[in-house]
Structure 1
């Protein structure tokens, strides 16, 4: 929306509200309207500039300081290095575009509140900085912290390697990981090829303390870093000094990198050694540590590091409020229209990660042009085995995944079922019956069946995990004149089938594949939570010509030839 679309009365009301806060119109370009003036705070007037560029209010008006705060070197809560004010968390407040004067009033009231909180030299202001410490360490002071990605490292690791590499844009990047092989794999997955082979030693430290908000600016020298760390974790400071005084290897390189893990998150710092002292004292790290604390060495400049985690535990667990699939062994049979999307969901839940975790993909089929319209894979996978092509795609997205792909039809033996969960996503009832038969002979693990019904009118799942609940064969009648008829008929009309030569197929849109994969994913999540009920689920599309079925735990059907043969 353009500001000119407002009537003069509406825009006049907006300006009137802004003037009440002490701001007056200022020069700006294009559709932006700017206002400048002093906002009254507990520490006196603070001049700000307010810019409104999005009159639909999808983006909040931008506010920033025109002058430095009193004690301008201090880190202030909700104020970035350029003086920008973070007064609303992104997308936390929906401003009313139909009442723009009220929307602007909300923003100015929040700005006033943030300024008062930032200028209050009290525990609440410090707590705000400490609670979001990593963000302030990264962007709260110029220059901003250097961005470094950090891989998952062994829990007890005391050091790692720091690799530099160049991206396609010739920008310099860095990664902290175990070794050169991990670095190569990560850099390749990022789409980069050029690597600086020289690696620096990265010393790893952990603290159970929340980093304290600095009394002034963030540390800029090694002395300031040590002094600041000492204000909130003296044992950590002693540990750093002890490592620097005993670790010879870090003196073999031009730089030293320190990485810290705290309850607030990870952050780091790096510094360049004094070349003369490094070479002269490389066999005597204790003396070099003394140099760093001496009159000259203490002035050694540091560079703040922003550590962006890319390890599997972080990526696959940060959005979950329950246990992930890390460490689980999952077998997915069928990598077609359902299985492709389901595999993508499973790895995002952590399948193929963690100690002992592995995802098995099984499908003897080849990806044909006919499959592309409803499959997650595209042209690069054409005429390849579906399982192997899917594995290639998933590992390219997450290079640390442990995925085994098989294009062979494997026998359903005890070894096959010695896993945590088997999922049948073939959508082939004959195969479902076969798998069900061999599963019931062993019952070593639960089996989840997922299928698309008809032309995509609905999707269904059944989890078979105990003798007290229905097996797959229990979805059809087990005796009498209606033998083999559906126990719960859902389609009101026969599905449309199309033929191509001697082959036939049932047309349905890609939305059905996505819906089936989503339903199966929800069942897996409930299984992870320890409560997989209801084990039989049906999800209908709107306006489908179907009978509505209740989601429920089904008991075995009487005289089921598969699971009730002894009765």
Structure 2
């Protein structure tokens, strides 16, 4: 079916709206109405599939009568998409063009009226601009003045500048500059003359904010005399500056026969107009923010003491998922595994070639530390069962060994600990058969089944067998010199088991543990069509928990 060329459809649509073609790639200029006033915009349609959205720029907004307008980017670009993005129909290019114009007009309209200040304040950092870095500090929740460092990491990457607590991240190759952070518990507000260009204007700006931290003015002058970076950290922005002395202050600082910081500090109070500001801004990147941003209001595993036993194929993927959901944030994550990484492990492990011959627990601890330097993770290369006293101090023990002997051995001291009143949770995760399914089982010692109850007696059938043929034999690969035999399965099965386990852990941490036995079928040929999630009752004659 033939359809009109989309570029001509867009051209006809826009020219009918009073727009004029001004050049490639499909760039048009014309009028739109904003609260009844006419402004001129420019719209460039460079990608007619709309995978890349058209760029819209405000050319003439004089009719709006506003000196500063929210939702404007550098160069006048209009940020016209909201948090959910904007979906455009490539099969209706004319309608898509009209929707872009409409969304641009609505974005500008939000800059006026009752919400205008709120809209601008939400984007305050975008208008401050200047040198950019990340803030990995977990800041206090109430107004405070905090000593910090801006660390230049020895990586040479764009993320090389990071704001951290004073003297934190003392890694080799890092260099640092001292900074003073003024913490606000209320959003920073837009003000006349924003952003400030001199220290006197910055002081006036801070004075006009709601609840600045006590002692802020002396702290600003002290930090300025030391030529420290000064940052204002609030719920809506982290912005600041580095001071550049001019006039008499520059002469005092450059005096060849000894620079006296106290004299410079005394001179600053009356010469704040001689201090020019080089703007800086930062984006939040502290561990709690990185973890909590996607938890949708839940706490996840933040503050939970977690032990992960087994750093193999399941444990590797699971460790990464655990830290992304809060393990190692405000409480330790401890990894246990006695083995080293071998070539045969690589095909289904999260670790790679560079970790060969390293202890799995050590290498995995380093891997998850790469998620964020402040992850609290430790490792122990040895038998976790020999360290039961430490395990018993955890909130959650996760068995990712996939070894029925280890799982049963963990089940026994766990049940005794629960009988003694300890509030532990024990979570098992394993791959069934040759990758037919991933399964997880959560034991809370609350009268439901224990791990031993999942079989109908020792050596008996699994009560929740995901195999289409329950009597099918599990294929095993033979042992080779230096390595034992193993059960072959592709990497999707341990990923499924890890995903089930982390979801069970997050549900438990949120106080809604849900179904204790969970299954995800990975192999639809050899696995059942579906295996319902259940909370199994205990076996009456279970050797572990019935007595």
Corresponding residue of 2:21: 25
1:368–1:383 Cα contact (<8 Å) kept: yes
CA distance in 2, matches of 1:171, 1:460: 41
Q: Which residue of 2 aligns with 1:525?
A: 506
Q: Residues 111-145 of structure 1: CA distance to partner in whole angstroms, max 9, x if unpaired?
A: 22233444x3x3322221123323333xxxxxx32
Q: Which residue of the other structure, out of 182, 187, 196, is the alignment partner of 1:205?
A: 182
* 1:265 matched to 2:237: yes
Name the Cα RMSD after superposition.
2.9
Cα pair distance change 1:298/1:510, threshold 3 Å:
same
Indicate the SS of the match to 2:239.
Answer: strand
**1:96-115 Cα shifts (integer Å, max 9, x gaps):** 11111111111111122233
Partner of 1:78: 71
Residue 487 (structure 1) shift: 2.1
Q: SS at the partner of 2:540?
A: coil
Is the Cα contact below 8 Å between 1:149 and 1:176 reproduced in 2?
Answer: yes
Q: Work out the CA distance in 2 between the residues paired with 1:538 and 1:383.
A: 33
Q: What does residue range 65-214 of structure 1 map to in structure 2 within 5 Å?
A: 65-67=58-60, 69=62, 74-89=67-82, 92-118=85-111, 120=112, 122-137=113-128, 144-153=129-138, 155=140, 158-163=145-150, 165=152, 174-180=161-167, 182-185=168-171, 193=173, 195=175, 199-200=177-178, 202-214=179-191
Instruction: Tell me how far apart the structure 2 counterparts of residues 68 and 42 of structure 1 sit (CA, whole Å).
Output: 12
Report the CA distance shift for 1:14/1:449 in structure 2 as closer, same or farther (over 3 A). same
The residue aligned with 1:141 is none
Taking a change above 3 Å as real, the CA distance of residues 21 and 229 of structure 1, as seen in their structure-2 partners, is farther
Residue in 2 that maps onto 1:430:
405
2:439 pairs with 1:460: yes
How has the CA–CA distance of structure 1 residues 323 and 170 changed in structure 2, closer, same or farther, with 3 Å as cutoff? closer
Secondary structure in structure 2 of the residue aligned to 1:500: coil
Q: Aligned equivalents of 2:31 and 2:185: distance in 1?
A: 42
Using the size of structure 1 for normalisation, the TM-score is: 0.85
Q: Residue 46 of structure 2 aligns with which residue?
A: 53
Instruction: Output the TM-score relative to the length of structure 2.
Output: 0.88
Q: Distance in 2 between matches of 1:6 and 1:265?
A: 51
Residue 183 of structure 1, CA deviation: 4.1
Where do residues 204-243 of structure 1 align in structure 2 (5 Å cutoff)?
204-233=181-210, 235-236=211-212, 239-243=215-219
Contact 1:55 1:97 in 2 (8 A): yes
2:261 is paired with a residue whose SS is coil
Aligned residue pair count: 526
Within 1, Cα distance between the matches of 2:47 and 2:393?
Answer: 58
- Cα distance change on mapping 1:285 and 1:204 into 2, 3 Å: farther
SS at match of 1:323: coil
Deviation at 1:250, TM superposition (A): 5.5
Aligned ranges for residues 462-501 of structure 1 at < 5 Å? 462-478=441-457, 484-491=460-467, 492=469, 493-501=472-480
Deviation at 1:281, TM superposition (A): 6.7
2:344 matched residue in structure 1? 370
Q: Which residue of 1 aligns with 2:364?
A: 390
Alpha-carbon deviations, 1:27-49, whole Å to 9, x = none? 11xxx211122334447432222
Write out per-residue CA displacement over residues 215-251 of structure 1, whole angstroms, 9 at most, x where no aligned residue.
Answer: 3542212222222333333x52873223346x4x763
CA distance in 2, matches of 1:351, 1:94: 36
Quote the Cα distance in structure 1 between the aligned partners of 2:512 and 2:435.
Answer: 28
Structure 2 matches for 1:285-364, cutoff 5 A? 287-292=266-271, 297-320=272-295, 321-354=297-330, 357-364=331-338
For 2:438, what is the secondary structure of its paired residue?
Answer: strand
Q: Is the 8 A contact 1:147 1:173 kept in 2?
A: no
